[in-house]
Structure 1
Amino acid sequence: MEDFIPGVDNLPIREVIDFKSNSYGELFCDFLSNINCCVLNGRNSMKNDLTYISTRGSSVVDYCVVPYENLNCFKKFEVIRASELANESVSIGSVEPRFIPDHSILCWEMESYMCGNIEKENINVKNQNVQKRVIYDVKNIPNSWFEDENVINSINSCIRDIEKSNGDQDDVDNIYCEFVNIMHNEMNSKLNTKTKLLNSCNNKRRRFKKPWWSNDLTSKWNETCSAENQYLRCTNNSNKSALRTLYLNKRKDFDKLVQQSKRCYWHQCQEDLLYMNNNDSKQFWRKIGNIGIGNERQSAIPNEVVLSDGSVTNNLDSVLHKWKDCFYNLLNQSNNSDPKLVKDDLNLENIIVSDLLDNEITFDEVHNIVMSSKNNKSPGVDLIQSELCKNFLVICTLTKLFNLCFKSGKIPNTWNKGIINPIPKCSTSDPRDPLSYRGITLAPCAYKLYCSVLNNRLTEWLDEREVINDEQNGFIKGRSTIDHVSTLTSIIETRKKCKLSTFVSFVDFKKAYDTIDRSLLFNKLTDLGISTKFMCALQAIYSNIECCVRVNGNTTDWFSVNTGLKQGCVLSTVMFNIFINNLIDDIKALNIGIDIDGEKMILFCCLKIQKICRN
């Protein structure tokens, strides 16, 4: 029996010394996997042993249960038998055996992700500048959005500037800056805003409350606390009895309201789930993901890191420097590709033209992409979200701007700036390690829309020529990994009926997007016959990229990024499929079956695949 889901939860296997189980053990393991907790016994152990020893038998019946995400905090788990403890504490024979407990003592060491010098930490927090971020209410865009005469004149002036532009880099930058200023002026005058304190730790109003909490509960709680203080501070015995009764009544009313609020909240959740299950499957699963104990336990990124010498620091500058160094090294790796495969300069003398790829970007293309873009997405450095672009005048301006970028082969420098937002990969990894997070790049909205236009054209071009191998199902319209699972299941079931063994090899690419060699990628695109104009547009997207990492509201310094694809960019999935497409053909060309009994054959095959992957 496992206390986690194999293949889903990444936990170390537990050292089992008691192999007997019953129905209660199965229920206990199911309970642990449901609440994302596991047994510490047999993990991170210094001395694992039976926890119950008596004349009637011995077994493991005492457990230490910890959350998945905190497993690495518990070290040196040890089981100490009561008899051993008695022999060490007093002389042998001085304690009667019947007074020695049958149950053992469980011991462990627990590490905290908080530095020991709390006063120093508080000083650092107080001395740092509290950063603020203005959040615009894009859910309530007024009907007068881009309807005023002044803003119409401004946007028409911007369109005229685009039409007169010669397409050099300064022109493109100035025009986009003009467009952003128009958007910001309209946002500041038409939208409601709220200011969020990103790194303040003393603001009680920012403390997270339970989802069922309400203003009525806050009022009742304040009344209860006030009545309690009056009761405790009263020195007059005649009044103290009445104040105690008043306090108990207030507390009873508060507890009653809490239970009512909980019931109403969970009833509303059930109603919402039933409605979403029938009408909106995406929102249904999103709601499921926000319910449960595991979701409530999710914590912020620790404001501390482990330095190269093993010491732990919570100094803000040191923390941000560590995050910057880790992601800089990850996204600027040395080129280990075969020099024979890398062309120094792409041959642009032979101009390749494609009607599908090179046609002028139309209003309908941009309109369809803008209107189908998802709402409630985090903005990039320009603070513009997709909801604000769903306007006729804005779409007209974006169409003109996209054509200017596409024809000139240049994009605004602002589009090359991305904010890396760390997302935890695994609940059991050290949260102080920056590389245990997946970096999602937050890019400007206009950049994402422009990439969507290019992605649609590139995808259609690849489909027409059937470039992508049939074995690839990831990120392909009309397909999914479920197709692979179905195929694999069918093969296994068929072979099981024939009493044949089936061996499956699962290959995981470490840091797949982050380590892509762009020179090799562009070479592959050239070999496929991508048009020259479209190639220039793709190269512009991956030139002069700069990123910073945002950690709990604080951002690192900007740094250049020379390798990899952008996590979160719509083009990255197609580009990655193109990059690994030859791998399938090369593996087929090996024509080598894996001999399970021959270790050398397995090693030879793996080395061949590794060589192909590197190339």
Structure 2
Amino acid sequence: MVSSFCFCVAVCYLPPADTCKPVDSEVFFQNLLRQTYCYQRKGKVFICGDMNARMGLNSDYIEGVDLVKARSVIDCGENKHGDSFANFLSDVNFCMLNGRFSENEFTCISTTGKSVVDYMCVPYEELDYVSDFKILPMTSIINGTAHIPESIPDHSLLYCDFKTSLNLNIETNANKVSPKFNVKSMPHDFLSTAEIRHDVMQTIARIENYIIAENDIQHAYDEFESLIKTEMKDKLSTHKSHVGTKRRKYKPYWNEELGSLWKKVCETEKIWLRFTGHSSKKRTLKEDYCHKRKTFDRLNRKYKRQYQLQQQQTLEDKLSNMNQKDFWKSIGKIGIANERKRAIPLAVVDNCGNVTNDKSNVLNIWKNDFETLFKRNEDINDHLDTTICNTEIDVSALNEAISREEVVKAVIHAKLRKAAGIDDIPAEVLKNEAAIDLLFKIISGCFNLGKNKIAADVVENVGHAQMKQKLNFDKRHNVIQNEFCTGDLVLLRNLKRKKALGMQKWLGPYKIYDIPRLSTITLMDSNEKIVGKYRQNNVKKYYEPETMLEEDSSEKPDKDDEIEENINMKNDEQDENNNELDDESIFLTQSTFQQSDATFDLEVDDLMSFPSPVLDSGDDTACASNGQPRRQCVG
């Protein structure tokens, strides 16, 4: 089942303030705030980790504004990280789960003290979706797993139950009970009684109907599986086996003394953590716990060293003995040494198939076998050359239908006492005639359906495959579809064009004389002389100038008239403005050309006749017309 449900968990660690490499808590929580805002639209965001922040009595919400359940406090200590963490939670609208559920414990417990520095935080609106929150100390976890690690961690485990309305169809294998059938002694009447034979015939009919009429192999195999499992439940004995049983680890050096000390450590820890009386009594309980904890750790290391030295000495003794087989057997621990035997069995199978123990016969057969094994065969090279060079191998047998003899051979060669597959059907129950008939119907149906489907798919997709190959060929060889016809006028790209020399980009027009093949055309000039053959991507269609002018004039006749009329009116206004200027003045002000977009030309000779000419070169551009230098002023 595919769903868009997203669960974002931020796992954080903030080093202590008094560490050798301190981290600025303000910068840390600012980065965390930015990342929280980035991911809050993607799904539900939760923050957890070791903050090394002791909140004390600080509140993680704004009292009187946020409707959040108050938390119970068991650690009244505070530090700088705790103040920054409280401000961060208020800014991001998150609250911690610590202290808001029934069980509230310390998250860090060691011989130096106890504190609450590990947190799990959720948004205010998501607090109702949390059904339970627990803090599990390491001692309780160790007691539940029956495993004592090398070093006991100080921090506890935070456990949270989150409820959601999303239904995922996922089957868990935890404590799943699956029946295991005893197939060592199969009954003789398995799938052979009169009643079951009738069911077998009906099942075969249903299988044929599913395969031939509905082309449904899955339902056909379901019928076979249902029949086999029903007969297995009726005829075979079962014993239950629990999948996913807990594997217990143990220490080889563990003894009663260590076990009793560990129980005392757990008891003193619980008493110290749950005591709420006077501080002096609490200090005494802590000292008692620390003393028993150190005693247990010291003895644990002692017995571990003794065990390691003992094992080392044992291996050295076995290595120094004459028989070193025990040494490799001890150091291997892979089971191969146990299967070895002191001597090779002095027995062989003769040509008649009988086992003989006569020493002379055994040695003679061994001698002949080794001679044959290492004797060079001169004809083998010729046989290999013939086999390798023979590429015309007949594979027509692969297209033939699967026979019943092939199914029988496969069932006979199936390995026994092996784990069953996903259908929980062992190979032992298939070694009978009824099961072989059922398997033959299913296997032959699968082969025929697959053969017909593959043939139909090939016939259906052969046209598509050919078209795809053609497109790939055209793409590799730069082949395009013809866009021109014989007799069209085209322009040819000037392949020898150099921009610096002012050469034209297109040459022509030329006339298409012939199209010898795809994307290739033959051109000729106006004198009907063949120019050459060119690729289609180097030519383009030529349009007559009269045709283009007629099209432009037919599309915009009114717009051109309006533009010409506007230009004439603006020129008249410009003449009136120029008449108001003094005759000896050649200064052109901005207001003179403020409402004019027209252009006019001034001859250089005319400018020279004026006294003291002054022109703004930034508003003028030099040009040449009719071979004489001119200046063009744009107003």
TM-score by length of 1: 0.26
Greater percentage in helix: 1
**Higher relative contact order at CA 8 Å, sep ≥6: structure 1 or structure 2?**
1
Q: Which has the larger radius of gyration?
A: 2
Greater percentage in strand: 2
TM-score by length of 2: 0.26
